[in-house]
Amino acid sequence: MRVQHNISLKKYNTFGLDVAAKHFVSVATVDQLLDVLKLDNYQDKFILGGGSNMLLTKDIDALVIHINLKGISIEKETDTHVYVKANAGENWHEFVLWTLNNNFGGLENMSLIPGNVGTSPIQNIGAYGVELKDNFVSCEALNLSTLKLDSFNKEACEFGYRNSIFKNQAKGKYIITSVVFKLTKKKHNLQTNYGAIQSQLEIMGVVHPTIKEVSKAVIAIRQSKLPNPKEIGNSGSFFKNPIISLEEFEKLKENFPTIPSYKVSGKKIKIPAGWLIETAGFKGKTFGNYGVHKNQALVLVNYGGAKGEDIVNLSKLIQKTIYRIFKISIEAEVNII
């Protein structure tokens, strides 16, 4: 464990933005993390996980603590289920592959989501009809004021759509160090009703899919729509899908009869922001070295060398345009720093 100075964070954020950390340290154990937090010559500290949900607009004038806690273990097992604990620094997709190789079911629909295990509960990651909370048991988090580990069960996490207590009351107060998932050992509960998965399985000629085949289908869909951050800098969906009232929706439908929608509850409707952005004419638009992805309008991309500030300005232009056309406010899902 060594504190370095003036380190580029380019390889630590999936947008590939070249900003500098004034000080940087990578921690591999909770004890190392505690030691670093006790260092009093660094007043400001900044926690970095997988760097997959942040847009860095400026150099970080703080001690950046890279959470690199590795390890996966089986906590307990029953005849039908297994409780698996993964440490925060495990790469999410590699962890999903580990569960699939052990024939543990539950996470297959969330294959290939960028980021690390430790940040997955913060925004309750989700894809293709499954959210983190569906398999979540608990997480351990270091309380930054007591420097003790606290445990959060599912209820305590207050999960919502791309939301949790860690984005609200607990924001900035904890560092998640590990997460426990409850997964199936047999009679896997396959979720293949999300349209794209069904059609992909058909293309693959699979009638009775295994969890690995569902994962393969999800990987194929994601690869066809979403840019690989290793090739083109991005943070997945830049915006959340807005939720509007049934009344607003009925009004919009008069002018935009093809507007897609999902019912959230009796009176609330979710609109795909990707459709709003595409309809507003932004899909595939490039502005020099950054732009809106050509296959999924919800994803903003850095083709190389863009500044975080450019991407923020583009996101503001998109928000303003969407509001002007549809009177809908869309909110960034990515944290702008």
CA distance 302 to 290: 4
Tell me: does residue 160 bind ligand EPU (CB under 6 A): no
Tell me: does residue 176 bind ligand EPU (CB under 6 A): no
Annotated catalytic residue within 26, 90, 162, 235: 162
Tell me: does residue 128 bind ligand EPU (CB under 6 A): yes
Stretch that binds ligand EPU, among 59-67, 87-95, 267-275, 316-324 (CB under 6 A): 267-275
Q: How far is CA 11 from the centre of its chain?
A: 17
94: annotated active-site residue:
no
Tell me: does residue 13 bind ligand EPU (CB under 6 A): no
CB 246 within 8 A of CB 267: yes
Shortest Å, Cβ 179 to ligand EPU: 18
Shortest Å, Cβ 272 to ligand EPU: 3
Shortest Å, Cβ 282 to ligand EPU: 9
Identify which of residues 63 and 330 has a Cβ nearer to ligand EPU in the complex. 330
Give the one residue of 25, 84, 112, 127 binding ligand EPU; rule: CB under 6 A.
127
Dig out the tokens for 114 from the structure.
Answer: 């960028």
Stretch that binds ligand EPU, among 94-102, 176-184, 233-241, 316-324 (CB under 6 A): 233-241
Identify which of residues 62 and 337 has a Cβ nearer to ligand EPU in the complex. 337
Shortest Å, Cβ 109 to ligand EPU: 8
Give the one residue of 51, 209, 227, 236 binding ligand EPU; rule: CB under 6 A.
236
User: What character string, x for contact with ligand EPU (CB under 6 A) and - otherwise, covers 69-108?
Assistant: ----------------------------------------
Sign of the C-alpha dihedral, residues 195, 120, 275, 215?
negative
Of 27, 26, 21, nearest in space to 7 by CA: 21
Tell me: does residue 241 bind ligand EPU (CB under 6 A): yes
333: annotated active-site residue:
yes
Annotated catalytic residue within 164, 235, 237, 315: 237
Please list every residue from 268 through 297 that binds ligand EPU, using CB under 6 A: 272, 274-275, 278, 283, 296-297
237: annotated active-site residue:
yes
Shortest Å, Cβ 81 to ligand EPU: 25
Shortest Å, Cβ 320 to ligand EPU: 19
Residues in the interface with ligand EPU (CB under 6 A) total: 18
* 21, 32, 89 from 26: Cα distances, Å: 12, 9, 10
SS3 readout for the chain? CCCEEEEECHHHCCCCCCCEEEEEEEECCHHHHHHHHHCCCCCCEEEECCCCCEECCCCEEEEEEEECCCCEEEEEECCCEEEEEEECCCEHHHHHHHHHHCCCECCHHHCCCCCEHHHCCCCCCEECCEEHHHCEEEEEEEECCCCCEEEEEHHHHCCECCECHHHCCCCCCEEEEEEEEEEECCCCCCCCCCHHHHHHHHHCCCCCCCHHHHHHHHHHHHHHHCCCCCCCEECCCCECCCEEEHHHHHHHHHHCCCCCCEEEECCEEECCHHHHHHHCCCCCCEECCEEECCCCCCCEEECCCCCHHHHHHHHHHHHHHHHHHHCCCCCECCEEC
Binding site for ligand EPU (CB under 6 A): 127-128, 225-226, 236-237, 240-241, 260, 272, 274-275, 278, 283, 296-298, 333
Residues identified as active-site: 162, 237, 333
